[in-house]
Structure 1
Protein backbone atom coordinates (compact mmCIF):
# COMPACT_ATOMS: atom_id res chain seq x y z
CA UNK A 1 0.00 0.00 0.00
CA UNK A 2 2.84 2.35 0.90
CA UNK A 3 4.62 1.43 -2.34
CA UNK A 4 1.52 2.22 -4.46
CA UNK A 5 1.06 5.54 -2.62
CA UNK A 6 4.73 6.43 -3.28
CA UNK A 7 4.37 5.64 -6.99
CA UNK A 8 1.19 7.73 -7.21
CA UNK A 9 2.91 10.67 -5.53
CA UNK A 10 5.83 10.35 -7.95
CA UNK A 11 3.53 10.31 -11.00
CA UNK A 12 1.65 13.40 -9.81
CA UNK A 13 4.93 15.24 -9.23
CA UNK A 14 6.22 14.13 -12.64
CA UNK A 15 3.07 15.32 -14.43
CA UNK A 16 3.28 18.66 -12.62
CA UNK A 17 6.92 19.18 -13.58
CA UNK A 18 6.43 18.19 -17.24
CA UNK A 19 3.35 20.42 -17.51
CA UNK A 20 5.17 23.36 -15.95
CA UNK A 21 8.18 22.80 -18.20
CA UNK A 22 5.92 22.64 -21.25
CA UNK A 23 4.29 25.94 -20.33
CA UNK A 24 7.64 27.65 -19.77
CA UNK A 25 9.11 26.42 -23.04
CA UNK A 26 6.04 27.16 -25.17
CA UNK A 27 7.01 29.32 -28.12
CA UNK A 28 5.11 32.58 -28.52
CA UNK A 29 5.37 34.62 -31.70
CA UNK A 30 5.90 38.31 -31.02
CA UNK A 31 3.64 40.47 -33.14
CA UNK A 32 3.99 44.22 -33.62
CA UNK A 33 0.80 45.92 -34.79
CA UNK A 34 1.32 49.20 -36.64
CA UNK A 35 -1.84 51.22 -37.17
CA UNK A 36 -1.25 53.73 -39.93
CA UNK A 37 -2.95 56.32 -42.08
CA UNK A 38 -3.43 55.51 -45.75
CA UNK A 39 -0.74 57.31 -47.74
CA UNK A 40 -2.93 57.35 -50.83
CA UNK A 41 -6.68 57.96 -50.76
CA UNK A 42 -8.47 54.73 -51.74
CA UNK A 43 -11.92 56.30 -51.12
CA UNK A 44 -13.17 53.20 -49.30
CA UNK A 45 -13.60 54.86 -45.90
CA UNK A 46 -16.49 57.12 -44.93
CA UNK A 47 -14.05 59.54 -43.25
CA UNK A 48 -10.70 60.04 -44.97
CA UNK A 49 -7.52 61.91 -44.15
CA UNK A 50 -6.06 64.47 -46.55
CA UNK A 51 -3.05 63.02 -48.32
CA UNK A 52 0.51 64.31 -48.04
CA UNK A 53 3.44 64.20 -50.47
CA UNK A 54 5.02 60.97 -49.26
CA UNK A 55 7.36 60.91 -52.26
CA UNK A 56 9.06 64.14 -51.20
CA UNK A 57 12.72 63.93 -50.17
CA UNK A 58 11.79 64.75 -46.55
CA UNK A 59 9.19 61.98 -46.28
CA UNK A 60 11.40 59.46 -48.05
CA UNK A 61 14.17 60.13 -45.53
CA UNK A 62 11.64 59.68 -42.71
CA UNK A 63 10.52 56.36 -44.21
CA UNK A 64 14.12 55.21 -44.40
CA UNK A 65 14.63 56.14 -40.75
CA UNK A 66 11.40 54.38 -39.72
CA UNK A 67 12.14 51.14 -41.55
CA UNK A 68 15.75 51.14 -40.33
CA UNK A 69 14.45 51.07 -36.75
CA UNK A 70 11.79 48.45 -37.52
CA UNK A 71 14.34 46.24 -39.27
CA UNK A 72 16.22 45.93 -35.96
CA UNK A 73 13.42 43.65 -34.75
CA UNK A 74 14.71 40.96 -37.16
CA UNK A 75 11.08 40.17 -38.00
CA UNK A 76 10.52 36.95 -39.93
CA UNK A 77 7.31 38.15 -41.59
CA UNK A 78 5.80 41.47 -42.64
CA UNK A 79 2.02 41.52 -43.26
CA UNK A 80 0.13 44.21 -45.12
CA UNK A 81 -3.41 45.39 -45.86
CA UNK A 82 -3.76 43.76 -49.26
CA UNK A 83 -6.31 41.05 -50.12
CA UNK A 84 -5.00 37.54 -49.60
CA UNK A 85 -6.10 36.64 -53.13
CA UNK A 86 -3.66 39.26 -54.48
CA UNK A 87 -0.63 37.46 -53.03
CA UNK A 88 0.72 36.32 -56.40
CA UNK A 89 0.61 39.77 -58.01
CA UNK A 90 2.03 41.34 -54.84
CA UNK A 91 4.89 38.82 -54.91
CA UNK A 92 5.68 39.80 -58.49
CA UNK A 93 5.84 43.51 -57.61
CA UNK A 94 7.92 42.86 -54.50
CA UNK A 95 10.44 40.78 -56.46
CA UNK A 96 10.72 43.54 -59.06
CA UNK A 97 11.30 46.07 -56.25
CA UNK A 98 13.99 43.95 -54.59
CA UNK A 99 15.84 43.68 -57.91
CA UNK A 100 15.57 47.42 -58.59
CA UNK A 101 12.97 47.20 -61.34
CA UNK A 102 9.97 48.71 -59.55
CA UNK A 103 9.54 52.18 -58.09
CA UNK A 104 7.43 52.22 -54.96
CA UNK A 105 4.05 53.95 -55.42
CA UNK A 106 2.34 56.17 -52.83
CA UNK A 107 1.01 53.46 -50.54
CA UNK A 108 1.97 52.54 -46.99
CA UNK A 109 1.82 48.89 -48.10
CA UNK A 110 4.85 49.42 -50.31
CA UNK A 111 6.48 52.49 -48.78
CA UNK A 112 6.67 50.81 -45.37
CA UNK A 113 5.92 47.13 -46.06
CA UNK A 114 8.05 46.50 -49.17
CA UNK A 115 10.84 48.80 -47.98
CA UNK A 116 10.99 47.02 -44.62
CA UNK A 117 10.81 43.56 -46.17
CA UNK A 118 13.80 44.28 -48.38
CA UNK A 119 15.86 45.41 -45.38
CA UNK A 120 14.88 42.24 -43.55
CA UNK A 121 15.81 40.19 -46.64
CA UNK A 122 12.36 38.55 -46.71
CA UNK A 123 11.32 36.51 -49.73
CA UNK A 124 7.72 37.63 -49.49
CA UNK A 125 5.44 40.24 -47.97
CA UNK A 126 2.29 38.53 -46.71
CA UNK A 127 -1.13 39.74 -47.85
CA UNK A 128 -3.74 39.15 -45.14
CA UNK A 129 -6.66 41.47 -45.89
CA UNK A 130 -10.19 40.33 -46.70
CA UNK A 131 -12.67 42.95 -47.83
CA UNK A 132 -16.30 42.64 -46.82
CA UNK A 133 -18.57 45.50 -47.81
CA UNK A 134 -20.65 47.20 -45.12
CA UNK A 135 -23.86 45.57 -46.33
CA UNK A 136 -26.05 47.21 -43.70
CA UNK A 137 -24.91 50.79 -44.42
CA UNK A 138 -28.09 51.94 -46.18
CA UNK A 139 -30.33 50.09 -43.70
CA UNK A 140 -28.59 51.81 -40.79
CA UNK A 141 -29.07 55.29 -42.30
CA UNK A 142 -32.76 54.60 -43.01
CA UNK A 143 -33.27 53.17 -39.52
CA UNK A 144 -31.61 56.17 -37.86
CA UNK A 145 -33.96 58.52 -39.72
CA UNK A 146 -37.04 56.43 -38.95
CA UNK A 147 -36.22 56.19 -35.24
CA UNK A 148 -35.16 59.82 -34.69
CA UNK A 149 -31.56 58.70 -34.18
CA UNK A 150 -29.88 60.88 -36.78
CA UNK A 151 -28.27 62.72 -33.87
CA UNK A 152 -26.10 59.62 -33.35
CA UNK A 153 -24.72 59.83 -36.88
CA UNK A 154 -24.23 63.58 -36.49
CA UNK A 155 -22.29 63.09 -33.23
CA UNK A 156 -20.27 60.33 -34.90
CA UNK A 157 -19.37 62.69 -37.74
CA UNK A 158 -18.26 65.41 -35.33
CA UNK A 159 -16.02 62.97 -33.46
CA UNK A 160 -14.58 61.37 -36.63
CA UNK A 161 -13.84 64.71 -38.28
CA UNK A 162 -12.21 65.92 -35.06
CA UNK A 163 -9.94 62.89 -35.06
CA UNK A 164 -9.02 63.42 -38.71
CA UNK A 165 -8.22 67.09 -38.10
CA UNK A 166 -5.99 66.08 -35.20
CA UNK A 167 -4.16 63.51 -37.37
CA UNK A 168 -3.87 65.98 -40.24
CA UNK A 169 -2.34 68.57 -37.90
CA UNK A 170 0.08 65.95 -36.57
CA UNK A 171 1.07 64.99 -40.09
CA UNK A 172 1.81 68.61 -41.02
CA UNK A 173 4.03 69.18 -37.99
CA UNK A 174 5.61 65.80 -37.32
CA UNK A 175 7.66 63.02 -38.84
CA UNK A 176 6.02 59.81 -40.00
CA UNK A 177 7.47 58.01 -36.97
CA UNK A 178 5.95 60.57 -34.60
CA UNK A 179 2.57 60.31 -36.37
CA UNK A 180 2.58 56.51 -36.04
CA UNK A 181 3.48 56.72 -32.36
CA UNK A 182 0.51 59.06 -31.84
CA UNK A 183 -1.93 56.92 -33.85
CA UNK A 184 -1.05 53.83 -31.82
CA UNK A 185 -1.50 55.29 -28.37
CA UNK A 186 -4.12 53.25 -26.45
CA UNK A 187 -6.42 56.26 -26.14
CA UNK A 188 -6.32 56.92 -29.90
CA UNK A 189 -7.10 53.29 -30.71
CA UNK A 190 -9.97 53.41 -28.21
CA UNK A 191 -11.40 56.53 -29.88
CA UNK A 192 -11.47 54.80 -33.24
CA UNK A 193 -13.27 51.74 -31.92
CA UNK A 194 -15.73 53.87 -29.97
CA UNK A 195 -17.10 55.24 -33.25
CA UNK A 196 -18.64 51.81 -33.81
CA UNK A 197 -19.51 50.91 -30.23
CA UNK A 198 -20.62 54.26 -28.84
CA UNK A 199 -22.67 55.52 -31.78
CA UNK A 200 -23.39 53.01 -34.54
CA UNK A 201 -24.36 50.04 -32.34
CA UNK A 202 -27.26 52.03 -30.84
CA UNK A 203 -29.06 52.55 -34.14
CA UNK A 204 -32.18 50.37 -34.30
CA UNK A 205 -31.52 48.79 -30.89
CA UNK A 206 -34.53 46.76 -29.73
CA UNK A 207 -36.02 46.78 -33.23
CA UNK A 208 -34.14 45.74 -36.36
CA UNK A 209 -30.63 46.18 -34.86
CA UNK A 210 -29.37 47.80 -38.07
CA UNK A 211 -26.50 49.46 -36.22
CA UNK A 212 -25.43 46.23 -34.54
CA UNK A 213 -25.54 44.50 -37.92
CA UNK A 214 -23.39 47.27 -39.42
CA UNK A 215 -20.85 46.81 -36.61
CA UNK A 216 -20.96 43.04 -37.17
CA UNK A 217 -19.93 43.64 -40.82
CA UNK A 218 -16.85 45.49 -39.55
CA UNK A 219 -16.05 42.78 -37.02
CA UNK A 220 -16.50 40.09 -39.69
CA UNK A 221 -13.84 41.71 -41.87
CA UNK A 222 -11.43 41.95 -38.96
CA UNK A 223 -12.12 38.36 -37.89
CA UNK A 224 -11.33 37.27 -41.45
CA UNK A 225 -8.08 39.29 -41.35
CA UNK A 226 -7.25 37.71 -37.99
CA UNK A 227 -7.81 34.22 -39.40
CA UNK A 228 -5.48 35.03 -42.31
CA UNK A 229 -2.82 36.29 -39.88
CA UNK A 230 -2.85 33.22 -37.65
CA UNK A 231 -3.04 30.90 -40.67
CA UNK A 232 0.12 32.42 -42.17
CA UNK A 233 2.23 32.35 -39.00
CA UNK A 234 4.16 29.13 -38.53
CA UNK A 235 6.24 27.64 -35.72
CA UNK A 236 9.49 29.10 -37.07
CA UNK A 237 8.21 32.70 -36.93
CA UNK A 238 9.65 34.53 -33.95
CA UNK A 239 8.53 38.07 -34.79
CA UNK A 240 5.80 39.37 -37.12
CA UNK A 241 5.08 42.97 -38.11
CA UNK A 242 1.57 43.87 -39.24
CA UNK A 243 0.97 47.17 -41.11
CA UNK A 244 -2.72 48.09 -41.34
CA UNK A 245 -5.10 51.02 -41.27
CA UNK A 246 -5.42 52.28 -37.70
CA UNK A 247 -9.14 51.46 -37.47
CA UNK A 248 -8.41 47.73 -37.67
CA UNK A 249 -5.86 47.64 -34.87
CA UNK A 250 -8.10 47.73 -31.75
CA UNK A 251 -10.06 44.65 -32.84
CA UNK A 252 -7.04 42.75 -34.17
CA UNK A 253 -5.14 43.54 -30.98
CA UNK A 254 -7.98 42.20 -28.84
CA UNK A 255 -8.17 38.99 -30.87
CA UNK A 256 -4.42 38.37 -30.85
CA UNK A 257 -4.12 39.17 -27.13
CA UNK A 258 -6.53 36.32 -26.46
CA UNK A 259 -4.56 33.81 -28.50
CA UNK A 260 -1.75 32.45 -26.30
CA UNK A 261 0.38 31.67 -29.35
CA UNK A 262 1.14 35.40 -29.60
CA UNK A 263 2.82 38.12 -27.56
CA UNK A 264 1.78 41.67 -28.46
CA UNK A 265 4.65 44.16 -28.87
CA UNK A 266 3.67 47.78 -28.26
CA UNK A 267 4.80 50.12 -31.02
CA UNK A 268 5.98 52.80 -28.61
CA UNK A 269 8.43 50.28 -27.12
CA UNK A 270 10.07 49.95 -30.55
CA UNK A 271 9.84 53.55 -31.82
CA UNK A 272 11.49 55.36 -28.93
Structure 2
Protein backbone atom coordinates (compact mmCIF):
# COMPACT_ATOMS: atom_id res chain seq x y z
CA UNK A 1 0.00 0.00 0.00
CA UNK A 2 2.90 2.35 0.82
CA UNK A 3 4.38 1.55 -2.59
CA UNK A 4 1.11 2.48 -4.34
CA UNK A 5 0.95 5.75 -2.37
CA UNK A 6 4.52 6.56 -3.40
CA UNK A 7 3.72 5.94 -7.08
CA UNK A 8 0.55 8.03 -6.78
CA UNK A 9 2.47 10.89 -5.17
CA UNK A 10 5.07 10.73 -7.95
CA UNK A 11 2.41 10.85 -10.67
CA UNK A 12 0.67 13.82 -9.02
CA UNK A 13 3.99 15.67 -8.76
CA UNK A 14 4.78 14.85 -12.39
CA UNK A 15 1.35 16.02 -13.50
CA UNK A 16 1.76 19.28 -11.55
CA UNK A 17 5.21 19.90 -13.06
CA UNK A 18 4.01 19.14 -16.59
CA UNK A 19 0.94 21.34 -16.19
CA UNK A 20 2.99 24.20 -14.77
CA UNK A 21 5.54 23.92 -17.56
CA UNK A 22 2.75 23.83 -20.13
CA UNK A 23 1.23 26.99 -18.71
CA UNK A 24 4.58 28.79 -18.80
CA UNK A 25 5.31 27.71 -22.36
CA UNK A 26 1.96 29.12 -23.53
CA UNK A 27 2.85 32.62 -22.38
CA UNK A 28 3.89 34.50 -25.49
CA UNK A 29 6.02 37.60 -25.48
CA UNK A 30 4.45 40.36 -27.50
CA UNK A 31 6.95 42.04 -29.78
CA UNK A 32 6.31 45.27 -31.64
CA UNK A 33 8.47 45.68 -34.75
CA UNK A 34 9.03 49.28 -35.81
CA UNK A 35 10.70 49.68 -39.19
CA UNK A 36 12.28 53.11 -39.41
CA UNK A 37 14.08 55.36 -41.83
CA UNK A 38 17.59 56.30 -40.77
CA UNK A 39 17.53 59.79 -39.31
CA UNK A 40 21.19 60.31 -40.12
CA UNK A 41 23.05 59.22 -43.26
CA UNK A 42 25.41 56.43 -42.17
CA UNK A 43 26.36 55.70 -45.81
CA UNK A 44 26.11 51.95 -45.27
CA UNK A 45 23.20 51.38 -47.67
CA UNK A 46 23.32 51.46 -51.46
CA UNK A 47 20.23 53.68 -51.53
CA UNK A 48 19.76 56.26 -48.78
CA UNK A 49 17.08 58.78 -47.94
CA UNK A 50 18.28 62.37 -47.67
CA UNK A 51 16.59 63.20 -44.40
CA UNK A 52 15.63 66.53 -42.87
CA UNK A 53 16.40 68.14 -39.53
CA UNK A 54 15.18 65.82 -36.79
CA UNK A 55 16.50 68.19 -34.14
CA UNK A 56 14.06 70.92 -35.14
CA UNK A 57 11.36 71.89 -32.65
CA UNK A 58 8.68 70.41 -34.92
CA UNK A 59 10.34 67.01 -35.24
CA UNK A 60 11.25 66.88 -31.56
CA UNK A 61 7.62 67.48 -30.68
CA UNK A 62 6.61 64.69 -33.06
CA UNK A 63 9.12 62.35 -31.42
CA UNK A 64 7.66 63.16 -28.02
CA UNK A 65 4.17 62.37 -29.31
CA UNK A 66 5.37 59.12 -30.88
CA UNK A 67 7.19 57.84 -27.82
CA UNK A 68 4.36 58.87 -25.51
CA UNK A 69 2.06 56.55 -27.48
CA UNK A 70 4.65 53.76 -27.60
CA UNK A 71 5.23 54.01 -23.86
CA UNK A 72 1.63 52.92 -23.32
CA UNK A 73 2.72 49.39 -24.30
CA UNK A 74 4.50 49.14 -20.91
CA UNK A 75 7.29 47.27 -22.69
CA UNK A 76 9.96 45.71 -20.49
CA UNK A 77 12.66 45.83 -23.16
CA UNK A 78 13.57 48.17 -26.02
CA UNK A 79 15.94 46.83 -28.68
CA UNK A 80 17.81 48.89 -31.26
CA UNK A 81 19.95 48.55 -34.39
CA UNK A 82 23.32 48.83 -32.73
CA UNK A 83 25.99 46.09 -32.69
CA UNK A 84 25.70 43.79 -29.72
CA UNK A 85 29.39 44.35 -29.04
CA UNK A 86 28.66 48.02 -28.36
CA UNK A 87 26.37 47.29 -25.40
CA UNK A 88 28.71 48.66 -22.76
CA UNK A 89 29.31 51.99 -24.52
CA UNK A 90 25.60 52.27 -25.33
CA UNK A 91 24.77 51.67 -21.66
CA UNK A 92 27.09 54.51 -20.68
CA UNK A 93 25.43 56.91 -23.12
CA UNK A 94 21.97 55.88 -21.99
CA UNK A 95 22.90 56.40 -18.33
CA UNK A 96 24.18 59.89 -19.16
CA UNK A 97 20.94 60.59 -21.02
CA UNK A 98 18.60 59.54 -18.21
CA UNK A 99 20.61 61.70 -15.78
CA UNK A 100 20.37 64.69 -18.14
CA UNK A 101 24.08 64.73 -19.04
CA UNK A 102 23.79 63.72 -22.69
CA UNK A 103 22.00 65.35 -25.61
CA UNK A 104 20.56 62.88 -28.08
CA UNK A 105 22.23 62.97 -31.52
CA UNK A 106 20.46 62.63 -34.86
CA UNK A 107 19.88 58.88 -34.77
CA UNK A 108 16.60 56.98 -34.62
CA UNK A 109 18.32 54.51 -32.30
CA UNK A 110 18.54 57.19 -29.64
CA UNK A 111 15.88 59.70 -30.67
CA UNK A 112 13.27 56.93 -30.51
CA UNK A 113 14.99 54.09 -28.64
CA UNK A 114 16.61 56.00 -25.77
CA UNK A 115 13.68 58.41 -25.47
CA UNK A 116 11.17 55.55 -25.25
CA UNK A 117 13.24 53.53 -22.79
CA UNK A 118 13.52 56.53 -20.48
CA UNK A 119 9.75 56.99 -20.50
CA UNK A 120 9.41 53.29 -19.66
CA UNK A 121 11.95 53.72 -16.83
CA UNK A 122 14.16 50.93 -18.21
CA UNK A 123 17.71 50.43 -16.97
CA UNK A 124 19.08 49.57 -20.39
CA UNK A 125 18.44 49.67 -24.13
CA UNK A 126 19.37 46.36 -25.74
CA UNK A 127 21.79 46.33 -28.69
CA UNK A 128 20.96 43.38 -30.97
CA UNK A 129 22.53 44.14 -34.35
CA UNK A 130 25.17 41.98 -36.00
CA UNK A 131 26.80 43.26 -39.17
CA UNK A 132 27.89 40.86 -41.88
CA UNK A 133 29.45 42.34 -44.99
CA UNK A 134 27.76 41.62 -48.31
CA UNK A 135 30.71 39.43 -49.26
CA UNK A 136 29.14 38.08 -52.46
CA UNK A 137 28.21 41.45 -53.98
CA UNK A 138 31.29 41.79 -56.18
CA UNK A 139 30.81 38.30 -57.61
CA UNK A 140 27.13 39.04 -58.14
CA UNK A 141 27.91 42.18 -60.17
CA UNK A 142 30.56 40.33 -62.18
CA UNK A 143 28.08 37.52 -62.85
CA UNK A 144 25.45 40.02 -63.98
CA UNK A 145 27.90 41.41 -66.55
CA UNK A 146 28.96 37.98 -67.73
CA UNK A 147 25.39 36.71 -68.12
CA UNK A 148 23.92 39.86 -69.69
CA UNK A 149 21.85 40.50 -66.58
CA UNK A 150 22.88 44.05 -65.81
CA UNK A 151 19.32 45.04 -66.65
CA UNK A 152 18.28 43.43 -63.36
CA UNK A 153 20.52 45.78 -61.40
CA UNK A 154 19.20 48.72 -63.41
CA UNK A 155 15.61 47.70 -62.69
CA UNK A 156 16.54 47.26 -59.02
CA UNK A 157 17.98 50.77 -58.95
CA UNK A 158 14.85 52.21 -60.56
CA UNK A 159 12.56 50.58 -58.00
CA UNK A 160 14.79 51.49 -55.06
CA UNK A 161 15.05 55.13 -56.11
CA UNK A 162 11.29 55.34 -56.60
CA UNK A 163 10.77 53.95 -53.12
CA UNK A 164 13.25 56.40 -51.60
CA UNK A 165 11.62 59.34 -53.41
CA UNK A 166 8.22 58.20 -52.16
CA UNK A 167 9.46 58.09 -48.56
CA UNK A 168 11.02 61.50 -49.00
CA UNK A 169 7.66 62.89 -50.13
CA UNK A 170 5.92 61.23 -47.20
CA UNK A 171 8.42 62.74 -44.78
CA UNK A 172 8.08 66.24 -46.22
CA UNK A 173 4.31 66.31 -45.86
CA UNK A 174 3.71 64.09 -42.81
CA UNK A 175 4.68 63.61 -39.20
CA UNK A 176 7.17 60.98 -38.06
CA UNK A 177 4.29 58.86 -36.78
CA UNK A 178 2.52 59.06 -40.14
CA UNK A 179 5.69 58.10 -41.99
CA UNK A 180 6.31 55.11 -39.73
CA UNK A 181 2.73 53.93 -40.19
CA UNK A 182 3.16 54.19 -43.97
CA UNK A 183 6.51 52.42 -44.34
CA UNK A 184 5.37 49.57 -42.07
CA UNK A 185 2.33 48.64 -44.14
CA UNK A 186 2.48 45.11 -45.61
CA UNK A 187 2.72 46.59 -49.11
CA UNK A 188 5.79 48.69 -48.32
CA UNK A 189 7.53 45.91 -46.40
CA UNK A 190 6.98 43.54 -49.30
CA UNK A 191 8.27 46.13 -51.76
CA UNK A 192 11.54 46.42 -49.84
CA UNK A 193 12.14 42.68 -49.61
CA UNK A 194 11.25 42.20 -53.28
CA UNK A 195 14.38 44.14 -54.25
CA UNK A 196 16.40 41.15 -53.06
CA UNK A 197 14.05 38.39 -54.14
CA UNK A 198 12.86 39.75 -57.49
CA UNK A 199 16.10 41.11 -58.88
CA UNK A 200 19.27 39.98 -57.08
CA UNK A 201 18.33 36.31 -56.54
CA UNK A 202 17.90 35.82 -60.31
CA UNK A 203 21.49 36.74 -61.17
CA UNK A 204 23.58 33.69 -62.03
CA UNK A 205 20.70 31.28 -61.42
CA UNK A 206 21.46 27.82 -62.80
CA UNK A 207 25.18 28.61 -63.04
CA UNK A 208 27.08 30.13 -60.12
CA UNK A 209 24.07 31.34 -58.10
CA UNK A 210 25.95 34.55 -57.29
CA UNK A 211 22.70 36.44 -56.79
CA UNK A 212 21.28 33.84 -54.41
CA UNK A 213 24.51 33.89 -52.43
CA UNK A 214 24.37 37.68 -52.24
CA UNK A 215 20.81 37.49 -50.90
CA UNK A 216 22.00 34.89 -48.38
CA UNK A 217 24.35 37.51 -46.90
CA UNK A 218 21.33 39.69 -46.11
CA UNK A 219 19.41 36.77 -44.65
CA UNK A 220 22.42 35.73 -42.57
CA UNK A 221 22.63 39.15 -40.97
CA UNK A 222 18.94 39.11 -40.12
CA UNK A 223 19.15 35.57 -38.76
CA UNK A 224 21.96 36.71 -36.48
CA UNK A 225 19.86 39.68 -35.34
CA UNK A 226 16.94 37.33 -34.73
CA UNK A 227 19.21 35.08 -32.65
CA UNK A 228 20.25 38.07 -30.55
CA UNK A 229 16.62 39.09 -30.06
CA UNK A 230 15.37 35.73 -28.83
CA UNK A 231 18.47 35.21 -26.71
CA UNK A 232 17.82 38.43 -24.77
CA UNK A 233 14.11 37.92 -24.16
CA UNK A 234 13.34 36.46 -20.73
CA UNK A 235 10.24 34.64 -19.50
CA UNK A 236 9.29 37.71 -17.50
CA UNK A 237 9.19 39.91 -20.62
CA UNK A 238 5.58 40.33 -21.64
CA UNK A 239 6.24 43.06 -24.19
CA UNK A 240 9.29 44.03 -26.25
CA UNK A 241 9.75 46.91 -28.71
CA UNK A 242 12.24 46.51 -31.56
CA UNK A 243 13.40 49.58 -33.53
CA UNK A 244 15.27 48.75 -36.75
CA UNK A 245 15.77 49.94 -40.29
CA UNK A 246 12.66 49.15 -42.34
CA UNK A 247 14.51 46.78 -44.68
CA UNK A 248 15.12 44.32 -41.84
CA UNK A 249 11.50 44.07 -40.74
CA UNK A 250 10.05 41.68 -43.38
CA UNK A 251 12.60 38.97 -42.57
CA UNK A 252 12.57 39.50 -38.80
CA UNK A 253 8.78 39.49 -38.84
CA UNK A 254 8.71 36.16 -40.72
CA UNK A 255 11.17 34.59 -38.28
CA UNK A 256 9.37 35.79 -35.16
CA UNK A 257 5.93 34.83 -36.48
CA UNK A 258 7.20 31.27 -36.82
CA UNK A 259 8.47 31.11 -33.26
CA UNK A 260 5.52 30.26 -31.02
CA UNK A 261 7.17 31.98 -28.05
CA UNK A 262 6.24 35.30 -29.66
CA UNK A 263 3.20 37.26 -30.74
CA UNK A 264 4.09 39.89 -33.33
CA UNK A 265 2.16 43.12 -32.75
CA UNK A 266 1.22 45.13 -35.84
CA UNK A 267 2.35 48.74 -35.64
CA UNK A 268 -0.94 50.09 -36.99
CA UNK A 269 -2.71 48.65 -33.94
CA UNK A 270 -0.61 50.91 -31.71
CA UNK A 271 -0.22 54.03 -33.86
CA UNK A 272 -3.91 54.61 -34.57
- TM-score when scaled to structure 2? 0.92
Q: Counterparts in 2 of 1:1-272, with a 5 A limit? A: 22=22, 26-272=26-272
The aligned counterpart of 1:3 is none
CA–CA separation in structure 1 for the residues paired with 2:25 and 2:217:
38
Measured against aligned partners, the alpha-carbon deviations of 1:30-51 in whole angstroms (never above 9, x if no partner) come to 0000000000000000000011
Q: State the Cα deviation string for residues 85-124 of structure 1 (Å, max 9, x = none).
A: 0000000000000000000000000000000000000000
Aligned to 2:3: none
Q: Which string of whole-angstrom CA distances, capped at 9 and with x for unpartnered residues, describes residues 210-267 of structure 1?
A: 0000000000000000000000000000000000000000000000000000000000
Q: For the residues of structure 2 that align with 1:256 and 1:270, how far apart are their CA atoms?
A: 18
5+ unaligned residues in a row in structure 1: which ranges?
A: 1-10
Normalising by structure 1, we get a TM-score of 0.92
Unpaired runs of 5+ residues, structure 2, are 1-10
Q: Secondary structure at the match of 2:263?
A: strand
Is the 8 Å Cα contact of residues 133 and 217 (structure 2) preserved in structure 1? Answer: yes
Shift of the alpha carbon at 1:22?
A: 3.1
Q: Aligned with 1:124: secondary structure?
A: coil
Structure 2 Cα separation of the partners of residues 153 and 38 of structure 1: 23
Q: Alpha-carbon deviation of 1:20?
A: 11
- The whole-number CA distance in structure 1 between the counterparts of 2:151 and 2:31 is 39
User: Which residue is 2:4 aligned to?
Assistant: none
Per-residue CA shift, 1:21-67, capped at 9, x if unaligned? 93697110000000000000000000000111000000000000000
What CA deviation, in whole Å up to 9, does each residue of 1:141-194 have, x standing for no partner? 110010000010000000000000000000000000000000100000000000
| Secondary structure, counterpart of 1:49 in structure 2 | coil
CA distance in 2, matches of 1:87, 1:22: 34
Q: How many residues align?
A: 258
What is the CA–CA distance in structure 2 between the aligned matches of 1:131 and 1:25, rounded to whole Å?
31
